[in-house]
Amino acid sequence: MDVLKTIKMASFAAAFAVLAGCAGQVKEDVAVSDATAERAPETATATAAPTEAVSGAGSSQASQGASQSAVSGAEITRESLKASALAADTLFFFEFDKSDLRQDALDDLDAHAKYLVADRGARVRLEGHADERGTRAYNLALGERRANAVARYLVIQGVNRAQIETMSYGEERPLSLARDESGWGRNRRVELIYQ
């Protein structure tokens, strides 16, 4: 009689272990996507079938669910990165006669870089500008160096260089007409424009 109880308890323990393993798989699938959550009852009832049938059918369904969730997850991520990039500043200012990026520009540039890496079809134009001091030719070259500095930073962050167009307007398109340091400071910039 004790042997029979032991066998029953061992059978229950084995069945419980199998169900617990399947339940863990169902929880993982539910976490992956809502579409997989709809299959959770199928996975739970499939445990009563032979092991070969469960592993064959379950793995193809799981791989389909994982690929669907990966696509929808990538789209959601791309959209959230796009929203962050569009909310980030698109004007990056420079010190007098410098083309070095300022520390305050890096967070916004990182947001743009993350989006551009996630969406390889997105394109930006970087327009370099200078204030009115200096010759026209010098200011065109300075605007170009500034645009290239921003482009270099984006490329270092993983953006494909083919997604970036650079150009310089020099002193030709000022934001401010004030002929003082505050006006000149606004004109020393790179504008990032999505195309």
Choice among 2-6, 56-60, 133-137 with the minimum mean pLDDT: 56-60
For residue range 34-82, list pLDDT tens digits in order: 433 333 333 333 333 334 433 444 444 444 554 555 556 777 788 899 9
Topology adopted by domain 88-194: 60s Ribosomal Protein L30; Chain: A; (3.30.1330)
pLDDT of residue 78: 84
pLDDT over 70, % of the chain: 62
Query: Where are the domains positioned within the chain?
Result: 2-77, 88-194
Report the pLDDT value the prediction gives residue 11, as an integer from 0 to 100. 55
**121 pLDDT above the threshold of 90:** yes
Around 90, how many Cα atoms within 13 Å sit in the side-chain half-sphere?
12
The pTM is what? 0.63
- At 87, is the pLDDT very low, low, confident or very high (cuts 50, 70, 90)? very high
State residue 7's pLDDT score: 55
User: Own/partner pairs for 169-172, CB < 8 Å, 24+ apart?
Assistant: 169/127, 169/128, 169/129, 169/140, 169/143, 170/128, 170/129, 170/130, 170/136, 170/139, 170/140, 170/142, 170/143, 171/129, 171/130, 171/131, 171/132, 171/134, 171/136, 171/139
| Short-list 86, 89, 85, CA closest to 104 | 89
**Structure-model confidence comparison of residues 108 and 40, the more confident one:** 108
Question: How many whole angstroms separate alpha carbon 145 and alpha carbon 140?
Answer: 9
Counting Cα atoms < 13 Å in the Cβ hemisphere of 62 gives 16
Provide the pLDDT for residue 38: 38
